[in-house]
Amino acid sequence: MNYAENETIVYQRLLNAFCDKTESQYWRMWKYKVNNDLSGLMIPHTLPDYGKSVKIFYYGQDTLNNWTSLESVYKKDENDQLNYLSENNKWPENVDQIYKETDKNPYHYWRFVLNLQSKIQNINYMDNREYEYEKMNSFGLGNVFPLELVSTIKKDIWRTRSMKAYIDLSIYNEIFENAKEFSKLKYLLPVYQPEYIVILVWRDDIEDWLSEEINYEFMEKESINKKISVYNIEKYGTKVFWIYHPQALIRKKIKYQEVIKAICNRL
């Protein structure tokens, strides 16, 4: 199956609709336009070996994304939008890049994903980096929130001031709400047909819109209270694991190894 072609068809259409709704808002949002920008949209995409082994998707919270910018989303030419999708998919190229360029703390988001991916694929990657390349790289990634949360924007500094000081937050929140369309599972499931989705954000306010128009079953016997919720989407043969963000596990006093073991025991 040509996942990249399906991705282009579906997400370019969403990109067009998003631009039509929010382009004027983007320019009105700026109190003072600076030579910096907010992170671009995080659109679900895959590593090149997706589909050559167990198909898994990991959904994080949001991204301080420095390889695309929000302004670049609004280039209306078809080729520009195809270029945006291409730029969106540039990072990461493979698990080795993630390993080298991200925090080594096991409770960091990407280190947790690498640990979980290696256990699911039964590969000894984390200890000695020996692995079957196609298996370790057979996953996709997305975010529950395709644009940065305001709490993330605060971390981005331009000339000693937070980026949020330069924008009208009420207008940004309107753009933010429209961007949620990209993360909805009703688009991801037919495009990528994952066997498993791991959502690493435990928030009560996301389930309804993230799973819009999706019929799913809560697997009560497989779920663990306040640790892991398990769902089955029969139409696509997809099992969904809903867990805390790895950094939240520290506050909850939950060992990351326990969560990884619980997921692997329920595959």
Q: What is the pLDDT averaged over residues 218-244?
A: 97
Domain span including residue 174: 3-264
Q: The pTM is what?
A: 0.93
pLDDT digits (tens, 9 = 90+) for 160-199: 888 899 999 999 999 999 999 999 999 999 999 999 999 9
Distances (CA, A) of 21 to 17, 74, 76, 170, 187: 6, 11, 13, 15, 19
What is the amino acid identity at position 59?
Answer: Y
Contacting residues for 52 by C-beta, under 8 A, at least 6 apart:
134, 135, 138
Helix (H) or strand (E) segment spanning residue 142: strand 139-143
Instruction: Specify the pairing of strand 157-158 against strand 161-162.
Output: antiparallel
**CATH code (residue 52):** 3.40.470
Domain count, the chain: 1
Is a pLDDT exceeding 60 seen at residue 1?
no
Question: Residue 80: its pLDDT value, please?
Answer: 74
What's the average model confidence in pLDDT over 251-263?
Answer: 96
Q: What is the pLDDT of residue 75?
A: 77
